Amino acid sequence: MDPNRIILFCVLAYMALCVAIGLWALKRTRNTSDFFMASRNLGVLITGIALFSSIMSGFGFVGGPGLVYRMGISSFWILVTTPIGFALAFFLVAKRIRLLAELRNSISLPDIAAARYRCPKVRGLVAVAILCGVIAYLATQIRAMAFVLQEIFASNGVWGHDSVVFCVVVSCTVLVFYCVTGGIIASVYTDLFQGIVMVVVAVLIFVGAVGAIEGGMGGMMEVILKDNAEAAGPWGTLGMLGCLSWFFLFTLGVAGQPHVVTKMMMSRKVEDARRTLPITLLGYTVTALLWIGIGMLMRAVVLNGGQAELARADDAAAVFLQSYAHPVLAGLVFAGLFAAIMSTADGFLNIGAAAIAHDIPRALTGNAIRHELLWARVATVVLAILAAVFALQSPIQLIGQLGAFGWGVFASALVPVVGLGLNWRGGSRKAALAAIVFSLAANGGLVIAQMAGFSIPYGVSGGALALMGSTLVFVGISLASRSDLLSPDIEEVMKL
């Protein structure tokens, strides 16, 4: 059978399964608590896998190998942060956010922020920050989905390379279908399936990549080192300060990613967090093997002349699959790639819909809107359309910046307000508002500046600077302002 047909079949089968899960979850979604919070009834395994698969996005499966190909070891610093980053996020947030969710029947992160600071403005601004990050992030995910589908269709002669709009429509339709019908229940159960696919694929790819060059990992490193020792050194080509800024941003930033911390609110029991963390960590570490394996192999084979230079660094995964992987494995990997992208995008759609249908109306009017579940479904569709239009209309250069903008906004707005605020009674509402405004301004300003050609010396991450700045703003203003009165129940929970 034609290898391209196998790949197409695997991807279509994967999409059909996502639709089936959406239909199955439809019957289990009766109210907004089901739609946004899965009724706080998720088991340890599902929560653990949903957590890692929602953070290992298309960036991990496409951008990650591309970074290793382009910069050598530098991007290992993003992977190395995971154990301490996830641990820090669990230490800071997991218990307290789950307790508050149960105490106040909260169904979104802005709910928690509003309860903590007793302030509708904080709820509104947290929702706005989430929405800004979500649209930016979703646009990159949709563009990635369309890019992959376009390649598959083109290689099967189904449609030419000019089919980007069609591919956006197809991939968004599947995504929106299961998100609208089944809400977060469909999202986490597809995450479970997607996570398993990602783990299997990553192991097979790593074994294949290491075996593809004489001498295995040592052979690849020798080629890379011979060309440029710094590329094989611990800082890669990016250099020390750039790597350390990633270390800061990605370690501390996990605690501010809403698609991660929101899932911590959904577990069946508070005590489940202890078993969820090892599952999340193990899953992420195993899937990271794909990032390392493909990236290093492609850099080595291009350097030793075994492969023509790639047209773009992000082609590393696609070229590897065409040249070094068995067609069935390639089909599985493409399905895994879709899984990685969709598992992140569905979480964003859900929290974005919550911001639109649940949090912003409450922040503005003080009341919930009628038929909230219906409006949540409408908001999911509207958000997907907005992000798709944004993805199609934005230049490629901007799309790349938007992913970094999304992570940066989440980290710098939510780490101080949620991560620190839930642990420090002295954090004030004025400080929370100022930190979010600073975060949006700093990250937005950096994107505009980078589009205009400005670059931060040493490759230091703009998100890391914004995170440092917003945290300083939060702590500084909290110390300078009078401490706020907390609700008595919140005060007691914060002492636990």
Residue numbers 168-187 binding another protein by CB under 8 A: none
442-461 residues in contact with another protein (CB under 8 A) are 456-460
Question: What minimum distance in Å lies between the beta carbon of 50 and another protein?
Answer: 17
* By the rule CB under 8 A, 299 interacts with another protein: yes
Provide CB contacts within 8 A for 315, sequence distance 6+. Answer: 66
Task: Tell me the torsion sign for CA atoms 147, 152, 154, 155.
Answer: positive
Residues 6 or more apart whose Cβ sits within 8 Å of residue 275: 44, 48
Binding of residue 207 to another protein (CB under 8 A) = no
Q: Which stretch binds another protein (CB under 8 A): 19-27, 51-59, 246-254, 328-336?
A: 246-254
Binding mask 364-393 for another protein (x = CB under 8 A): --x-x-------------------------
Alpha carbons 467 and 410: distance in angstroms, whole number: 9
Contact in structure between 489 and 496 (CB atoms under 8 Å)? no
Task: Give how far Cα 222 sits from Cα of 47, 232, 284, 304, 356, Å.
Answer: 40, 8, 27, 10, 52
Among the listed residues 89, 94, 98, the one whose alpha carbon sits nearest the alpha carbon of residue 254: 89
CB 199 within 8 A of CB 282: no
Q: Tell me, what DSSP letter sits at residue 304? A: T
Q: Is 118 helix (H, G, I), strand (E, B) or coil?
A: coil
SS3 call for 268: coil
Stretch that binds another protein, among 21-29, 54-62, 98-106, 128-136 (CB under 8 A): 98-106
Is residue 5 a contact residue for another protein (CB under 8 A)?
no
59 belongs to the binding site for another protein (CB under 8 A)? no
Binders of another protein among residues 113 to 132 (CB under 8 A) are: 113-115, 123
Q: Taking CB under 8 A as the rule, does residue 235 contact another protein? A: yes
Tell me which residues in 307-366 interact with another protein (CB under 8 A).
Answer: 309-313, 358, 362, 366
What's the rounded Cα separation, in Å, for the pair 221 and 206?
15
Angle between helices 462-480 and 240-253 (to 10 degrees): 50
- Helices 109-117, 95-104: axis angle to 10 degrees equals 80
Least distance from another protein to the Cβ atom of residue 227, Å? 8
Q: Min. distance of Cβ 493 from another protein in angstroms?
A: 6
Which residue, 28 or 104, has its beta carbon nearer to another protein?
104
Q: Which stretch binds another protein (CB under 8 A): 187-195, 200-208, 333-341, 465-473?
A: 465-473
List the one residue from 2, 216, 385, 451 that touches another protein (CB under 8 A): 216
| Interface residue with another protein, options 62, 112, 388, 418 (CB under 8 A) | 112
- Give CA–CA dist 437/445, Å, rounded: 12
Instruction: State which residue, 18 or 466, has the beta carbon closest to another protein.
Output: 466
Kindly state the number of chain residues that form the binding site for another protein, as judged by CB under 8 A.
105
**Which 278-297 residues touch another protein, going by CB under 8 A?**
278, 281
Q: Indicate the burial class of 487 (C-beta count within 10 angstroms; 0-12, 13-18, 19 or more).
A: middle
One of 20, 389, 451, 472 touching another protein (CB under 8 A): 472
Q: Is 73 in the site for another protein (CB under 8 A)?
A: yes
In the bound complex, what is the minimum distance in angstroms from residue 125's beta carbon to another protein? 14
